């Protein structure tokens, strides 16, 4: 008889313990969901991104655009849009600036080719190619042919075509031509 009572008491205590574990798990899930919602709202209120490239170059960009295969944004100091394909990006940090008048992050359902195709040309531009020892090149972006960016490069003596897959960074001047009417 004592054994039966002991077993029933032990089963009852285990049931209480299981409920405590269940409530602790539910509380942890609720806290996790709350943190997830906070991070999503932080993303939505972002108006500055810090982009680190594969070769440790770092850019702080306002009015950021996150697209299908690239990140873009306006330089903090000069009217230049920096465009970086994801294959050249190590990470992107989302920051909420204190200034509320800057545009928030925009999500764009376009590829880099589509984005550049909608950009009026010619435009003064600088570009950096993946793995290149030399610094950024300067010239004019004049068009697209498939997945090639056509650029007039004075150091090369004229027109060159650079595969989009080899671009690490493309910096385009003239804010008004890249839908920068914010």
Domain chopping of the chain, boundaries: 48-173
Mean pLDDT score of the chain: 77
One CATH from 1.10.10.60, 3.30.9.10, 3.20.20.70, 2.30.30.600 for 48-173: 2.30.30.600
Q: Which residue has the higher pLDDT, 109 or 40?
A: 109
Tokens 């999503």 found at: 40
Tell me the three-class secondary structure of 43-59, residue by residue.
HHCCCEEEEEECCCCEE
165-168: long-range contacts, CB 8 A cutoff, minimum separation 24: 165/85, 165/87, 166/129, 166/130, 167/85, 167/88, 167/127, 167/128, 167/129, 167/130, 168/53, 168/54, 168/55, 168/57, 168/84, 168/85, 168/88, 168/128, 168/129, 168/130, 168/132
- pLDDT number for residue 181: 45
pLDDT tens across 5-31, in order? 455 545 555 545 565 665 566 666 666
């Amino acid at each position: 008889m004592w054994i039966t009572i002991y077993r029933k008491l032990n089963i009852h205590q285990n049931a209480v313990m299981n409920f405590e574990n269940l409530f602790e798990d539910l509380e942890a899930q609720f806290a996790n969901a709350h943190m997830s919602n906070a991070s999503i709202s932080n993303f939505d209120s972002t108006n500055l991104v810090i982009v680190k490239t594969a070769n440790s170059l770092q850019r702080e960009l306002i009015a950021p655009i996150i697209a299908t295969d690239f990140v873009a944004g306006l330089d903090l100091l000069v009217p230049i849009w920096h465009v970086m394909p994801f294959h050249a990006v190590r990470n992107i940090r989302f920051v909420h600036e204190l200034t509320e008048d800057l545009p928030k992050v925009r999500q764009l359902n376009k590829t880099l080719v589509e984005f550049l195709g909608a950009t009026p040309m010619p435009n003064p531009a600088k570009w950096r190619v993946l793995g290149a020892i030399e610094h950024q090149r300067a010239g004019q972006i004049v068009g697209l042919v498939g997945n090639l960016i056509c650029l007039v490069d004075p150091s090369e003596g004229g027109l060159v075509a650079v595969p989009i897959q080899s671009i690490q960074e493309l910096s385009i001047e003239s804010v008004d031509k890249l839908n920068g009417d914010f």
